[in-house]
Amino acid sequence: MKQPDLTIIIPAYNVQRYMRDCLCSIVEQNGFDRFEVIVINDGSTDSTEYIVQDYMDRHSNIRLVSQENSGVSVSRNRAIDMAHGKYISFVDGDDCVGATHCYCFSDYPQTTGNLTLNRDYNKTGDTIQLGYDPDYFIRMLNVAAKNDAEIAMGGKITTYSDHHMVSTCVYQSMHVYDASPGDKDILLRQASARESANFAVYRRDFINAHNLRFAPSMALNEDMLFCMQAVLHANRVVTVPDSLYLYKRRTNTLSSLSSKSDRIEKYTRASIQHMSVILNDLKEKPQYATSYRYWMKNFAEQSEFDDDLYTPCFPDKNCTMCDRKTCHGCKHEKQNDEIIRKNLITFNPYRSYTR
């Protein structure tokens, strides 16, 4: 069997309302016959499995694996190990690929490099109308191959189920970033702003060479961590301005179901996990000392707890006011290194996954 150009990984849990739209947007993509789709049914109790089976009966390149509910990270990791494609891409079962839009940008966009975030800028009350792009995957694959990039990053459109709103996270141009300290600094900040491992394609041999996997014990930010680790290890990352992913934000999320104190605690714990991993990885790459200092300061600023459990898990508070260019040689360096080491042991994000 010829190697597929792309493996599309879809973790799915109780998404019967969205699954057909998701699979339809993928099946209708140009080049679909050269892709493989792996759907991990993560213990769904609705009709998700039967909907996927219906598509499998019509398309031999769709595979379904059912498992007990184990979470999105375990599902994605399992599919990565099963994948055969030259590249890998991640899609959530309640989202779609290949969206287009014609909305104007807001007056106050947030820009990082050539990445622009426009949050909730359509508030006219009009129903959101989006077009379909059948070259979403092909475009990213071609750009990645042409530029010999380990990762090609596309953009996304976010719609909200309870409001007539849309926001975007898009690249303004095609740009190739290399492993230089300046480019790496931009890529890490962009990866954090993207908040997701989706709407991108990753070369599979690159993912496996660096053992990039999702962190099962993280309830939040596991996507952000994966994306930041990926761009940190990549020698070439290319951005694709015209390929857009449709992210459907639903109201029954952690932020809407949890109490404020519960949300703060969950986000704090996730912050400790993902920042400790990133800082530990950056520490091993002294050429990125400026980025290490930036994320150490960012980590110190995220502490919202003042108790015996979480306060010792954050860098020294003086780091928030630091104006040094590097953490090397700082009087807090040894103490902060020890904090990160303990965090990785106590809050180990990868505890339940070994390869």
- Name the DSSP class of 33: G
DSSP three-state, residue 246: strand
Cβ contact 59:36 at 8 Å: no
| Structural domains counted in the chain | 2
Report yes or no on 176 lying in a domain: yes
Whichever domain contains 201, its CATH number is: 3.90.550.10
- Find how far residue 80's CA is from the centre of its chain: 15
Judge whether residue 123 has pLDDT over 60: no
Mean pLDDT of 39-45: 97
Distance, in Å, from the CA atom of 143 to the CA atom of 125, rounded to the nearest integer, reads 37
Last residue of a domain, one of 199, 226, 256: 256
Residues spanned by the domain of 31: 6-256
Diameter of the chain measured on Cα atoms: 64
What are the tens digits of pLDDT across the range 288-300?
999 999 999 999 9
Residue where the block lists tokens 């493996």: 7
275 phi-psi bin (left φ>0, alpha ψ -120 to 50, beta other): alpha
Distance, in Å, from the CA atom of 96 to the CA atom of 19, rounded to the nearest integer, reads 9
Q: Are residue 56 and residue 112 in the same domain, yes or no?
A: yes
Judge whether residue 105 has pLDDT over 70: no
pLDDT of residue 329: 85
Mean pLDDT of 230-259: 81
Report yes or no on 352 lying in a domain: no
Cβ contact 10:37 at 8 Å: yes
Q: Are residue 328 and residue 206 in the same domain, yes or no?
A: no
Judge whether residue 354 has pLDDT over 50: no
Judge whether residue 114 has pLDDT over 80: yes
Judge whether residue 128 has pLDDT over 80: no
Q: Which residues of 71-96 are buried (b: 16+ CB within 10 A; e: fewer)?
A: bbbbbbbbbbeebebbbbbbbbbbbb
Mean pLDDT of 210-222: 93
Last residue of a domain, one of 256, 291, 311: 256
Q: Are residue 105 and residue 150 in the same domain, yes or no?
A: yes
Q: Are residue 236 and residue 321 in the same domain, yes or no?
A: no
pTM beyond 0.75: yes
Handedness of CA 188, 212, 154, 250 (dihedral sign): negative
pLDDT of residue 206: 98
Q: Are residue 134 and residue 198 in the same domain, yes or no?
A: yes
Distance, in Å, from the CA atom of 88 to the CA atom of 50, rounded to the nearest integer, reads 25
Report yes or no on 335 lying in a domain: yes
Residue where the block lists tokens 């009009």: 126
Q: Are residue 246 and residue 268 in the same domain, yes or no?
A: no
Report yes or no on 353 lying in a domain: no
Q: Are residue 149 and residue 249 in the same domain, yes or no?
A: yes
Judge whether residue 207 has pLDDT over 60: yes
Report yes or no on 20 lying in a domain: yes
Q: Are residue 181 and residue 229 in the same domain, yes or no?
A: yes
Euclidean distance between the first and the last CA atom of the chain, given in angstroms as a whole number: 26
Q: Are residue 78 and residue 175 in the same domain, yes or no?
A: yes
Distance, in Å, from the CA atom of 206 to the CA atom of 87, rounded to the nearest integer, reads 9
Judge whether residue 282 has pLDDT over 90: yes
Q: Are residue 169 and residue 283 in the same domain, yes or no?
A: no
Report yes or no on 355 lying in a domain: no
Comparing 65-74, 109-118, 211-220, the range with the smallest average pLDDT is: 109-118
DSSP three-state, residue 308: coil
What count of other Cβ atoms lies within 10 Å of the Cβ of residue 343? 22
Report yes or no on 354 lying in a domain: no
Cβ contact 296:275 at 8 Å: no
Percent of the chain scoring above 70 in pLDDT: 88
